[in-house]
Structure 1
Amino acid sequence: DRRAARMVFLKDVSEFFLATRLWCIRMFEITLLFWLLSQIPLKIRTKAALSLAPLLKKSEKILMVFIQLLLRAFMFGVHALVAYEGGTCFYMPDLQLSTGLAIVFTGAFGMFMAITEIQESIPQAKEWKPSIILHSILVLVESSFLMSYNGPDMINMVWLTFGVAQMGIALWIFLLLKLDVNAKKILISVWNAVNGLDWQFPSKRTTTAGATMLLLFFYWKQELVAPWDNTYKNHEGYNWSFTLTSGGARDAQRRANAYFKTQIPHIRNSLRNRFTLHPYFAQTEVREGLSMERLYHLRLTAFEKQLISTNATGFMIEKDKCAMLKFLEAHDIGIPKIIGIYHNKEELYKTLNAISASPTSYKYPLFLKGCHLTQGSDSGTKPWFPKDFTETQMHRKMLPWVEEKWQQRPQDSNRPWTDTMNRLLALLKPGMAVQWPFRGVRISPDHTPMEVKVEVIWGRAYFGMFADFHDIIALRDNTFEFTERREGHPELWSLENSRDDRLAWLVDGGYMDAVWAIAEKTACAIGIDSVRIDIFIDPEHPNEPMVNELSLSSGHHYFYHAPNLANAWIQPHMTRMRNEGSLKSPPSGDVWPAPRIRQTATQVHLQRPEDGKGAGRGNHLQSVVR
Structure 2
Amino acid sequence: RETHKADEATHCAQSKGVFGLKKKKIRMIRRRTERAEKPTPPPIPVEEVEVNSSKKIPAKTASPPEGLSGYAKYVHMKMMALSAQKRVYLLVGALAFILVIFSVYVATEPDTMFGFEFGHEGAIAVNRVIHLPGWIRRSTNWVGQSMLWLRFMRFYGGEQSYKSWEHAKDYYDKNLEIIRENAKNWPLHPHFESCETEIHQGMTFYDIVAARARVMLANLKSHGWSDFAVEKDKCEMYHFISNNGFPHCAVLGEWSNLGAFAREGEMLRNANCKTEPFCFAKMCHITMGHLNSATRLVPAKKWSKITRWATHLWDQKPIDWDRTWGPTFDALTSTLKPRVMIQEGFKGGRGGDDGFSVDVPVELKVEVVWGRAYLAYVTMGQFGCPEGNPILLRDGSLQNYFMKNNFERETETCHKFLFDEGHMDVVWHMAESFARAGGFDSIRVDIFVKEGSDPRIAVINEISLSSGAGYAWHWEYFSKLWVEGYAVRNEMRRQGKTPPILNTDKSIAKISHGHGYYAVAFTQ
Same fold, TM-score > 0.5, yes or no: yes
Match for residue 507 of structure 2 among 587, 591, 603? 603
Name the SS for the 2:368 alignment partner.
Answer: strand
CA distance in 2, matches of 1:621, 1:463: 23
User: Aligned-pair distance for 1:266?
Assistant: 3.0
Change (3 A) 1:376 1:572: same
Equivalent AA in structure 1 for residue 178 of structure 2: H
In structure 1, the residue matched to 2:410 is: 498
User: Aligned-pair distance for 1:382?
Assistant: 0.7
Q: How does 1:204-223 map to 2 (within 5 A)?
A: 204-206=73-75, 217=97, 219-223=99-103
1:197-233, CA deviations, whole angstroms, 9 ceiling, x for partnerless residues? Answer: xxxx756343897998788536424525853444325
For the 8 Å contact 2:368–2:374, the answer to whether it is kept is yes
In structure 1, the residue matched to 2:188 is: 277
In structure 2, the residue matched to 1:425 is: 333
CA distance in 1, matches of 2:339, 2:348: 27
CA distance in 2, matches of 1:609, 1:221: 53
User: Is residue 127 of structure 2 the alignment partner of residue 235 of structure 1?
Assistant: no
For the 8 Å contact 1:521–1:617, the answer to whether it is kept is no
Q: How does 1:403-552 map to 2 (within 5 A)?
A: 403-443=311-351, 448-468=360-380, 469-484=387-402, 490-491=404-405, 494-539=406-451, 540-552=453-465
CA distance in 2, matches of 1:535, 1:504: 17
Match for residue 294 of structure 1 among 207, 215, 218? 207
In structure 1, the residue matched to 2:177 is: 265
For the 8 Å contact 1:234–1:557, the answer to whether it is kept is no
User: Aligned-pair distance for 1:296?
Assistant: 0.6
For the 8 Å contact 1:514–1:544, the answer to whether it is kept is no
1:227-252, CA deviations, whole angstroms, 9 ceiling, x for partnerless residues? Answer: 34443253223111111212222111
User: Is residue 485 of structure 2 the alignment partner of residue 572 of structure 1?
Assistant: yes
Query: Quick one: percent identity of the two aligned structures?
Result: 26
Equivalent AA in structure 2 for residue 245 of structure 1: Y
In structure 2, the residue matched to 1:394 is: 303
Change (3 A) 1:541 1:617: closer
User: Aligned-pair distance for 1:328?
Assistant: 0.4
Q: How does 1:19-168 map to 2 (within 5 A)?
A: none
Q: Which runs of 5+ in 1 are unaligned?
A: 1-200, 585-592
1:442-489, CA deviations, whole angstroms, 9 ceiling, x for partnerless residues? Answer: 33989642111110011110000113552210000111011135xxxx
Q: How does 1:158-197 map to 2 (within 5 A)?
A: none
Equivalent AA in structure 2 for residue 265 of structure 1: E
1:385-443, CA deviations, whole angstroms, 9 ceiling, x for partnerless residues? Answer: 1123xxxx223x12121222222222211221222111101110110110011111133
Change (3 A) 1:602 1:220: same
CA distance in 1, matches of 2:98, 2:364: 40
Equivalent AA in structure 2 for residue 217 of structure 1: F
Equivalent AA in structure 2 for residue 297 of structure 1: A
CA distance in 1, matches of 2:270, 2:379: 38
Match for residue 312 of structure 1 among 203, 215, 225? 225
CA distance in 2, matches of 1:551, 1:460: 16
Q: How does 1:241-390 map to 2 (within 5 A)?
A: 241-247=152-158, 248-272=160-184, 275-284=186-195, 285-355=198-268, 358=271, 364-388=277-301
CA distance in 1, matches of 2:182, 2:472: 25
In structure 2, the residue matched to 1:100 is: none
Name the SS for the 1:477 alignment partner.
Answer: coil
For the 8 Å contact 1:461–1:520, the answer to whether it is kept is yes
Higher relative CO (Cα under 8 Å, sequence separation at least 6) belongs to: 2
Higher helix share: 1
For the 8 Å contact 2:180–2:488, the answer to whether it is kept is no
Instruction: Give the alignment's TM-score, normalised by structure 1.
Output: 0.59
- Root-mean-square deviation over aligned CA pairs: 3.1
CA distance in 1, matches of 2:368, 2:220: 25
Change (3 A) 1:217 1:403: closer
Q: How does 1:583-598 map to 2 (within 5 A)?
A: 596-598=500-502
Name the SS for the 1:430 alignment partner.
Answer: coil
User: Aligned-pair distance for 1:543?
Assistant: 2.1
Change (3 A) 1:311 1:463: same
Equivalent AA in structure 2 for residue 498 of structure 1: E
User: Is residue 500 of structure 2 the alignment partner of residue 620 of structure 1?
Assistant: no
Equivalent AA in structure 1 for residue 174 of structure 2: T
CA distance in 2, matches of 1:441, 1:266: 36
CA distance in 1, matches of 2:226, 2:411: 42
Equivalent AA in structure 1 for residue 344 of structure 2: W
For the 8 Å contact 2:368–2:432, the answer to whether it is kept is yes
For the 8 Å contact 2:283–2:294, the answer to whether it is kept is yes
Name the SS for the 1:232 alignment partner.
Answer: helix
User: Aligned-pair distance for 1:356?
Assistant: 5.3
Q: Which runs of 5+ in 2 are unaligned?
A: 1-69, 80-86, 104-131, 381-386
For the 8 Å contact 1:368–1:382, the answer to whether it is kept is yes
**Greater Cα shift, 452-461 or 569-578:** 569-578
Instruction: Give the alignment's TM-score, normalised by structure 2.
Output: 0.70
1:328-350, CA deviations, whole angstroms, 9 ceiling, x for partnerless residues? Answer: 01111111111012223344334
For the 8 Å contact 1:367–1:437, the answer to whether it is kept is yes
Change (3 A) 1:244 1:452: same
Equivalent AA in structure 2 for residue 431 of structure 1: R
Change (3 A) 1:610 1:546: closer
For the 8 Å contact 1:536–1:548, the answer to whether it is kept is yes
User: Aligned-pair distance for 1:620?
Assistant: 2.5
Change (3 A) 1:296 1:420: same
User: Aligned-pair distance for 1:353?
Assistant: 3.4
Name the SS for the 1:467 alignment partner.
Answer: strand
CA distance in 2, matches of 1:379, 1:621: 38
Name the SS for the 1:559 alignment partner.
Answer: coil
Name the SS for the 1:441 alignment partner.
Answer: coil
